[in-house]
Structure 1
């Protein structure tokens, strides 16, 4: 189970993107998300997709790894596609030209499909896929500890109290650490049930649903036990929120981080100009 979870795992390749400051990568992801929200047509997507592809290629991570990151959310993407398609949502700027040069419409009983609806559904799925890919890029190139430190560095100037950013960063760091621990515990329980004769391949959907319910209680109890042990460990080591401390690897902003940020600052501006010009 843990090996199948690719999203959220750091993949070291020694690329220039790996060496960037985590604050720059987090800010770039937020700017890219803003550009996706502002994009309302294919011209804007044609601007964002090549930039995202170039950054993905710069990480030196195989494309199949990014494809594996999309797999867990494929049913959600299918739902979004069908929802947009059957809802008939589609704007003029998002419409793809038909083969004959004009708009088309196809009716099957109570369902009516139009060129604008198909184009809008495809556009929504492409935007969602780009968002997932760029989010996976952030986690593939940044360790959980550096990611939490980057978040802390970004929100510290905005926090009213001095300990607010540190509390949030600690919560994020512990959450990222607990995910693989809980998956490992769930896998141990599944192996124990398989050793007692449970055959998952022959189970129907109802039996698999009952299996998930049987996993819920021991995994929840294990999570509380690990949380209690972690609290005791932090108290034994004298950890206090807001206490002065130094970092083993301090964050350092360099010229490459500034250039990376400037690239993504231009993306929302470009999509906004395209939206106003449409």
Structure 2
């Protein structure tokens, strides 16, 4: 069920996107996310779609891998679309099915929200697929480092965010194992009354929480055994190197965001 989840996973490679500085990729994703929420026209989403296609082609990630990874998101996207299409009653009626009516503005708003979700998941997935957790942590730490003068623990926050992202596929795999184990013991997550389904999910959530806390405890012991100290000054084995291509990529993204802002209706 969850074996194809790609958010939080890293796929080693030598593509253009892999070789870019992690800070440039992180900044570009932030700008693109802002552009996604600013866009409110079909022209803007067409431009964003073209930009996403170019970014994907420069990532070197196999299309089959992306397709399987995006499959679990489509259920959420479809649900979000139908919620907006059914309950936004503005504009002309496009379709009437018994008690359900689909209005023009509701369908358009649902499509916009669906496109936003797909683009958000797609771009953030490409970020984690082409950036190692260590590089992502270093990039986030450097972005947060100006807050150190206000006693903000930039390194600790960056470390926690990186660990949280890395644990997403791990928890998905744990959930898959528990579901298979509970199904083998007679649990049914798709049939029965609401009470029966709730009891079945309790049998899923309890061991999932126990395993999550156990993994967190093991990680804490491993970091402590290696002498990790959150307040200590430390050097980096691999330094992030900003190159000309990183500057060019950031400039292109900024120009794209400015163009999308001008295309707003």
Structure 1, unaligned runs of 5 or more: 92-102
SS in 2 for 1:248: coil
SS in 1 for 2:102: strand
Query: Following superposition of structure 1 onto structure 2, how do residues 128-139 of structure 1 map, counting pairs within 5 Å?
Result: 128-139=117-128
SS in 2 for 1:17: helix
Deviation at 1:104, TM superposition (A): 6.8
SS in 1 for 2:19: coil
Look up the match of 1:46.
Answer: 46
Give the TM-score normalised by structure 2. Answer: 0.85
Tell me the matched-pair count: 263
Structure 2, unaligned runs of 5 or more: none
Look up the match of 1:241.
Answer: 230
In structure 1, C-alpha distance between the alignment counterparts of 2:209 and 2:187, rounded to whole Å:
24
1:221 to 197, 210, 224: 210
Q: After superposition, what is the alpha-carbon deviation per residue over 1:190-219, rounded to whole angstroms, capped at 9, x for unaligned?
A: 565566x54869x62666654432132223
Contact residue 8 and residue 167 of structure 2 kept, 8 A: no
In structure 1, C-alpha distance between the alignment counterparts of 2:179 and 2:106, rounded to whole Å:
43
Look up the match of 2:3.
Answer: 3
Deviation at 1:9, TM superposition (A): 1.4
In structure 1, C-alpha distance between the alignment counterparts of 2:31 and 2:69, rounded to whole Å:
21
In structure 1, C-alpha distance between the alignment counterparts of 2:145 and 2:75, rounded to whole Å:
37
Deviation at 1:69, TM superposition (A): 2.6
**Higher alpha-carbon Rg:** 1
Question: CA distance change for structure 1 residues 44 and 194 in 2, over 3 Å: closer, same or farther?
Answer: closer
SS in 2 for 1:35: helix
Question: CA distance change for structure 1 residues 49 and 192 in 2, over 3 Å: closer, same or farther?
Answer: closer
Look up the match of 1:155.
Answer: 144
1:145 to 108, 114, 134: 134
Give the TM-score normalised by structure 1. Answer: 0.81
